[in-house]
Amino acid sequence: TDPALLMDCADGVAVLRLNRPQALNAFTAELLATLRETLDRLGAEESVRAVVITGEGRAFCAGQDLSDPHVAPVPGEAPKDIGYLIEHFYAPMARALRACRVPTVCAVNGVAAGAGLSLALGCDLVVASEKASFVLGFNKIGLVPDAGSTWLLPRLVGRARAMELALLGDKLSATDALAWGLINRCVAPDALLEEAKALAVRLAVLPTRALVRTRQLLDEAQTLSFGEALKAEGVAQSELGFAHDYREGVEAFMQKRAPRYTDR
Ligand code: T3D
């Protein structure tokens, strides 16, 4: 059988494809572990400077595979501890994504449901096909949103819209998702991968370390006061000020040439 996660690399961009199309790319524990390990590994590979995540087939990802008897309830059997799955598979994947040492772009090719939506929103930039849609759906199976979506959603769209998505669980079209500020771009299905790759290539030639530090600062500032955020910016700026890429960036600007960034 095909591996559940496919990868190819070109121009400093690694493209990851969730590859369980027959199951709408639903997550298994194995797929979650592979995704986490892959994100960690790619972040440490010098030749990789950005990651694109997309799905094979008509869906992006339907969230947890509810037909997996190891996880989902089976009639007549005792309930399983799904907290274990969250702690050891979903949370580590979400953390690896948010801590990835290179920028991430999601190319949402079809429906993103449950933790599939969390995966998409956890990326730095999100491009969706006009055919894509977003649905939390946890409300319909008696669970709470997970894999980071309780944190991400209200920050992206505000509490009112986050509550609507979480409590009603309606499917949001890609055009509405764009209008709501949930995603960055909505493009024709045929243009999706090229658009996502083009954004990733742009990110790949920028100073990786500064980009990743920027993500970290924006995330951390959510719980800081204005004064604390100013301090955190100062710490990061001082660190980057000693690094190669700052010197290279200014030098290239003054010499009117393209910079060559290398810091990680
Ligand atoms: O243990 C835990 O659950 C904890 C972990 C939590 C993390 C989570 O992500 S929980 C949330 C799990 N996901 C969902 O609840 C979403 C369920 N799926 C849907 O709501 C819909 O299928 C979609 C909105 C994703 C797509 O709708 P649509 O109309 O395009 O397709 P469909 O007809 O509903 O589905 C097509 C097939 O895929 C269908 O099977 P069939 O009838 O062709 O044999 C459907 O059962 C199957 N499928 C869809 N989602 C899943 C799935 N099979 C297993 N797991 C799924 N998540």
CA–CA dist 125, 175 (Å, integer): 16
Query: Where along the chain do its domains lie?
Result: 5-204, 208-254
Q: Quote the pLDDT of residue 3.
A: 94
Provide the pairing of β-strand 5-10 with 50-55.
unpaired
Provide the pairing of β-strand 104-108 with 50-55.
parallel
Provide the pairing of β-strand 172-173 with 133-135.
antiparallel
Say if residue 263's pLDDT is above 90: yes
Alpha-carbon dihedral 136, 142, 145, 146, rounded to 10 degrees:
-120
Same fold across 5-204 and 208-254: no
Say if residue 1's pLDDT is above 60: no
Determine the distance from the C-alpha atom of residue 10 to the mean position of all C-alpha atoms in its chain, rounded to a whole number: 20
The answer to whether domain 208-254 has CATH 1.10.12 is yes
With the most atoms of ligand 1 within 8 angstroms of its CB, the residue from 32, 35, 60, 64 to mutate is 64
Starting from the edge strand earliest in sequence, which strands make up the sheet with 104-108, in order?
5-10, 13-18, 50-55, 104-108, 125-129, 185-187
CA–CA dist 114, 64 (Å, integer): 7
Determine the distance from the C-alpha atom of residue 224 to the mean position of all C-alpha atoms in its chain, rounded to a whole number: 23
DSSP string, 113-125: ETHHHHHHHTSSE
Say if residue 93's pLDDT is above 80: yes
Model pLDDT for residues 161-190, shown as the tens digit of each residue: 999 999 999 999 999 999 999 999 999 999
Alpha-carbon dihedral 145, 53, 104, 91, rounded to 10 degrees:
30
Q: 195 alpha carbon to ligand 1 midpoint, in Å?
A: 27
Q: Quote the pLDDT of residue 2.
A: 63
Q: Quote the pLDDT of residue 132.
A: 98
Amino acid at 255: Q
CA of 63, closest atom in ligand 1? 9
Q: 11 alpha carbon to ligand 1 midpoint, in Å?
A: 35
Amino acid at 178: L
Classify domain 5-204 by CATH architecture.
Alpha-Beta Complex (3.90)
CA of 138, closest atom in ligand 1? 11
Say if residue 73's pLDDT is above 90: no
Q: Quote the pLDDT of residue 72.
A: 85
Task: Determine the average pLDDT of the residues in 197-212.
Answer: 98
Which of 66-70, 89-93, 122-126 has the weakest average pLDDT?
66-70
Q: What percent of the chain has pLDDT over 90?
A: 94
Average pLDDT over the chain, rounded to whole?
97
Task: Count other C-beta atoms under 10 Å from residue 41's C-beta.
Answer: 12
The yes/no answer to whether this complex scores an ipTM above 0.90 is yes
